[in-house]
């Protein structure tokens, strides 16, 4: 029983680290996504919120498993096992949904950016601020190209945020004063950067969780054999 308990405690340490990692990743993703929510939509924020919630649940579940193992409480271990099975199923479902809808998510992001140009034209302050921030931060212009601004500004020219340091008087190396990359490319790269990072972490800890589930079941069996109903 001692070996099973020791291995289970090691798993809990790794699981706690996983929870902290998800919490940090989700918080960073949420901070980045919230800066551009009016022009990219709220799907990124929702995804980040899910990651944060999962991280919190894992941390709480780790504490539950720790108390159950340390105090030899069968009921707590049973709750831990059931909860872990549910989390595994949710992770599996989320992975399948994310893989299935990945192209739709890219199309939705492109649509949100396109539609936000109208809000920019209508003087929506949040949209204007976020577009200017986006273009300066990622050195991009328009959704796909600078011509995207043709019908959405008063003079038909891209905003000054399409230029380095908002200065459209000095040509760049490419011979123009405007950034030559569309912001959709940058936004989608950021989106899938977090998606890939989360996917890698999820796959890694998915197998650790399966091992932890097995250890929890073995420990529960050992406790039943030694203590009966505790």
Give the CATH number for residue 136.
Answer: 1.10.1450.10
**Residue 135 belongs to a domain:** yes
Which residues does 142 contact at the CB level (< 8 Å), separation at least 6?
A: 148, 149, 158, 162, 182, 183
**Residue 48 belongs to a domain:** no
Lowest mean pLDDT among 65-69, 128-132, 161-165, 192-196: 192-196
Cα separation, 161 vs 135, in Å, equals 6
Residue 68 reports pLDDT greater than 80: yes
**Residue 13 belongs to a domain:** no
Q: What's the whole-model pTM score?
A: 0.74
Q: Are 117 and 150 in contact (CB under 8 A)?
A: no
**Residue 4 belongs to a domain:** no
Note down the domain range covering 105: 101-223
Q: How many domains does the chain have?
A: 1
**Residue 86 belongs to a domain:** no
**Residue 165 belongs to a domain:** yes
**Residue 6 belongs to a domain:** no
Quick one: pLDDT at residue 116? 94
For residues 146-169, average pLDDT: 92
Quick one: pLDDT at residue 183? 92
Q: Are 61 and 78 in contact (CB under 8 A)?
A: no
**Residue 32 belongs to a domain:** no
């Amino acid at each position: 029983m001692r070996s099973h308990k020791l291995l289970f405690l090691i798993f809990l340490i790794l699981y706690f680290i996983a929870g902290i990692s998800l919490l940090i990743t989700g918080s960073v993703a949420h901070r980045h996504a919230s800066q551009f929510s009016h022009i990219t939509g709220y799907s990124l924020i929702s995804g980040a919120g899910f990651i944060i919630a999962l991280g919190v649940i894992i941390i709480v579940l780790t504490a539950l498993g720790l108390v159950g193992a340390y105090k030899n409480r069968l009921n707590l271990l049973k709750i831990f096992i059931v909860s872990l099975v549910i989390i595994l199923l949710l992770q599996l479902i989320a992975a399948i949904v994310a893989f299935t809808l990945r192209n739709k998510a890219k199309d939705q992001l492109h649509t949100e950016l396109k539609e936000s140009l109208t809000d920019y034209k209508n003087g929506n302050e949040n949209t204007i601020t976020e577009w200017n921030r986006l273009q300066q931060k990622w050195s991009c212009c328009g959704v796909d190209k600078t011509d995207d601004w043709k019908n959405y500004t008063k003079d038909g020219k891209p905003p000054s945020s399409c230029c380095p340091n908002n200065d459209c008087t000095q040509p760049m190396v490419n011979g123009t004063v405007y950034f030559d990359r569309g912001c959709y490319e940058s936004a989608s790269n950021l989106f899938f950067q977090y998606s890939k990072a989360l996917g890698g972490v999820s796959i890694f800890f998915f197998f650790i969780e399966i091992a932890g589930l097995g250890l929890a079941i073995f420990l529960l069996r050992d406790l039943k054999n030694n203590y009966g109903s505790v």
